[in-house]
Structure 1
Amino acid sequence: MNFSIALRRLGSLLCCTLLLSAWQCGGDEPGLDCLDGVVLGPDCGVAANAGYFIQLNRAIPEAQTQVNSTNGAAEYVISAINVPAAYRQAGRELSFRARLATQDELAALGPVITLCPQHGKIMYLENISSSPCR
């Protein structure tokens, strides 16, 4: 009898643990994938002059890594297509979530009409803010 009670309690505990784990992993937590960045300037390799280079505070797989010629530090840069007008100035700081731009989002910009190289993957920003990530 004591064994069956202990087994039921263990089963209940395991079930509650699994449910709590699924609940915590299921929702979007603000700031979970938050990135801080600084706008470097326009990316002429994106259609409709809609792209902007942003230097990130940390590496992500989609970023281009470059070496700062002054101090030798690694810098991580992305190109994003939907930077709001208020942030389209070199030196402007912002925080955001980033994902790869879809083919539909890129196609909506129209054709690339300037002759300059395209660097890396084009990103789409979400949850854009002037407040730093927490």
Structure 2
Amino acid sequence: MRIETLSRNVCSDVLSRNHTARLACAKDGQPYVVPISYGFSGNQIYAFSTVGKKIEWMRANPLVAVEVFEADGERGWRTVVVDGRFEELTPGPYYDKDSDFAWKLLKKHANWWEPGSIDAEGEAPSKSYVYYRIQIVTMTGRHGIVQ
């Protein structure tokens, strides 16, 4: 196997093609990793969630990481890792514009809302929900190529 570094443009392509990622956040030195559905645009990753552990931890510590893995058939794989900053889309002068933009990105994929709005038993929790974005600070990628 050979490992190659992906350019920023190829990393962006990987983020654009996919819509499921792993989000890592931390609080009091304890990491927490969860799957998310997302939309990607420019230098931002948009997502949706009910208020729970993930949102509470990101509110306490907005520094996060996002990882997207893409299988490349029998030829190998690609992975992109983003270091970023959580930003909750809260009511304010730009909220409607920002949340509408997030919704339009997310709705391109079937069932985009389920990971963020259904609990482990398949029930819709009675919690409030939020749209949020991750401002990308750094983005790196690798391509594992089977030889």
What TM-score, normalized to structure 2?
0.26
Higher relative contact order (CA 8 A, sep 6+): 2
What TM-score, normalized to structure 1?
0.28
Larger radius of gyration: 1
